[in-house]
Structure 1
Amino acid sequence: MLPTLIAGALLAASTVLPPQAASDVSTSAELKAALANAKPGDTIELADGTYTGNFKTTVSGNSGNPITLTGSAGAVLTASGGYGLHLNGASYWNVRGITVTGGQKGIMVDGAAHVTIDGVTVHGLDMEGVHFRNSSTYGVIKNSRIYDTGNDGRGMGEGVYVGSAGGTSDRSDHVQIVGNTIGPDVGGEAVDLKEGTAGGLVSGNSFDGKGLTGANFDDSWVDVKGNDYVIENNTGKNTTNNGYETHSQQPGWGCGTVFRDNRSDLTGATGSGRYAFNITNYDAAGCTVTVARSNTMTGGRALTNPGIPVS
């Protein structure tokens, strides 16, 4: 399990040095060129305005010289299909302040380490808001707002999605989801943590499940299928069924999570569970989950489903 001290150290590790060079960007063509030609230590500064297209980079910074893409919420990346911003194998990036909208997914991080997304707005998407995939490790999404996702109606519009379904080869480990506002009108869970991923942190977020579709069992704010996560100090409201869930989609996964200091409002939930924590895979001999007494709830049936210890 991941104690608070370790979790805090991981977040501190995402702190970066000041950038070394800057380029001012005000058109879509300039942005595409800047992403393609960035070098470690560069800063790409976006002027307010609309940037239409799909924007991608495959260039990495390094631990001492990350690359920064920054702008205000008035710098809007607008896609029609595909990904708004795709960091494909592009490690050591900071993405700050901008808005990403339209398209299939908002921000996709593929096979990249130490990507920090801070203070962005992501909305108006067919599927997920922010996705860490293909063993993207030590990623951070913080202080951001994600809403209005899953507009294709298939229940695949999670706010933040970590890993991949259907196996355990995607080791997008140590991802931190901190201080975000996720919802309303998010078509899937606010946070979906897939089997194969481990050691992450979900802390200090605000979840609004208004808009959950119920498709593909999307009936909670957070679904944990990975191992050894810490889920703490979050607040949630407007769920159709439960607040938080764990599942074992693959043998040995969905284990070791710690839930503490979360506040759940289940008022209005109409599902068959209506638990703040629905732990579907608890096994004292091999797959434990910790639900702390410091969690609180209003409405609903009970803090946990029957048979789950609260400590």
Structure 2
Amino acid sequence: MTAGGGTPSAPPPTSPSATPSPTASPSASPTPSSSGGSTVRVSTAKELQAALSAAVPGRTIQLADGTYTGNFKITAAGTAAAPITLTGSPNAVLTTATGGGYGLSLSGAPYWTVRGVTVTNAQKGIMVDASDHVLLDGVTVHHTTMEGVHFRNSSSYGVLRNSTVHDTGTAHDGKGEGVYVGTANTLTDRSDHVQIVGNTIGPNIGGENVDLKEGTTGGLVSGNRFDGNGLTNVNYDDSWVDVKGNDYLIENNTGTRTMNDGFQTHTQVAGWGCGTVFRGNRSDLTGATGGNAAKYAIDVTNYSAACPVTVTADNTVTGGTALTNPGVPVG
């Protein structure tokens, strides 16, 4: 979305309920792992929050299949040599009691890996705040009233890969991006070098599938499948990816079903929205029903010599008006 998207929300409650998982035998005591750290196996919400609070570098927290109800918060820090891992199958489901707050938040918690679990029924799914080098791998996030995954407050070198995000922004007000990087209307949130790779994002995303805010730099959006079914054309919600940061690489993505354009760049603040490279993307604009008369696979709304954007000839488009808007070179 353009300016005004991603309105900060009130801090979520942090006291999870202790509803037991319907399966598994709990064992909350650390046991040695083959990686040299320790593994804590949990099967209830109470055990999970206790394990998150007590996490130390090198530890793995293993979730049994089941439902974990609460707003789960991570504040312990891993290290580059010994990251901390939270892992489970897609049947290990983190859900809130009321649909409010964050399903899983990392705050001041660098070097974590979150793998395999599902997060649902929350205001925001996974929030990464002031936490560098966070890897979200193979997670599923769905049915949130706002964003599915958000890297914020200068959370750099984060990665979302091999994951599925759908049914976000369920209020249908043009908010609720699938993946959101940075903060609108500020240049102080330097969530730089975030990678969004190999994911399936959509359908029923309430904002753009991916929104890259001004103030962020040097990220990668590669090999994703975007489904724009559910875009509302409200609050400028009319494309799969909107780039307002600098020096992003957008490559080898496939998009179907959109309102107006496939990919867009915007300058919300002078000097931003520049330096993006688009290559190898495949856009299907068939049936786009938004209000714009012209519909482009790549709409570079602020192209100039001072704010260059590169569109290579291996990008393709089906339907719509053209690959790019007039005046944007392709080569």
TM-score bin (small chain): over 0.9
Q: Which amino acid aligns with 1:280?
A: T
Partner residue, 2:38: 21
TM-score (ref. length: structure 1): 0.93
Q: Separation in 1 of the partners of 2:45 and 2:166?
A: 24
Deviation readout 1:139-193 (Å, 9 max, x if unpaired): 0000000000001222111000000001111000000000000000001100000
Aligned positions of 1:151-190 closer than 5 A: 151-190=170-209
Q: Separation in 2 of the partners of 1:253 and 1:243?
A: 20
- CA distance 1:249–1:98, change in 2 (3 Å): same
Contact 1:208 1:236 in 2 (8 A): yes
- CA distance 1:19–1:192, change in 2 (3 Å): farther
Partner residue, 2:22: none
Partner residue, 2:295: 274
Q: Which amino acid aligns with 1:195?
A: E
Q: Separation in 1 of the partners of 2:177 and 2:316?
A: 24
**2:61 corresponds to 1:44:** yes
- CA distance 1:203–1:137, change in 2 (3 Å): same
Partner residue, 2:165: 146
Unaligned runs of 5+ in 1: 1-16
Across the two proteins, how many residue pairs are aligned to each other?
294
Partner residue, 1:13: none
Unaligned runs of 5+ in 2: 1-33
**2:273 corresponds to 1:254:** yes
Aligned positions of 1:185-204 closer than 5 A: 185-204=204-223
More helix as a share of residues: 1
Superposed CA RMSD: 1.0
Aligned positions of 1:44-123 closer than 5 A: 44-79=61-96, 80-123=99-142
Q: Which amino acid aligns with 1:305?
A: N
Q: Separation in 1 of the partners of 2:53 and 2:175?
A: 30
Deviation at 1:270, TM superposition (A): 2.5
TM-score (ref. length: structure 2): 0.88
Higher Cα radius of gyration: 2
**2:313 corresponds to 1:293:** yes
Q: Separation in 1 of the partners of 2:239 and 2:283?
A: 11
Q: Separation in 1 of the partners of 2:86 and 2:36?
A: 10
Question: Runs of 4+ in structure 1 displaced over 3 angstroms?
Answer: none
Question: For 1:219, which of 238, 263, 266 is the aligned residue?
Answer: 238
Q: Separation in 2 of the partners of 1:89 and 1:216?
A: 31
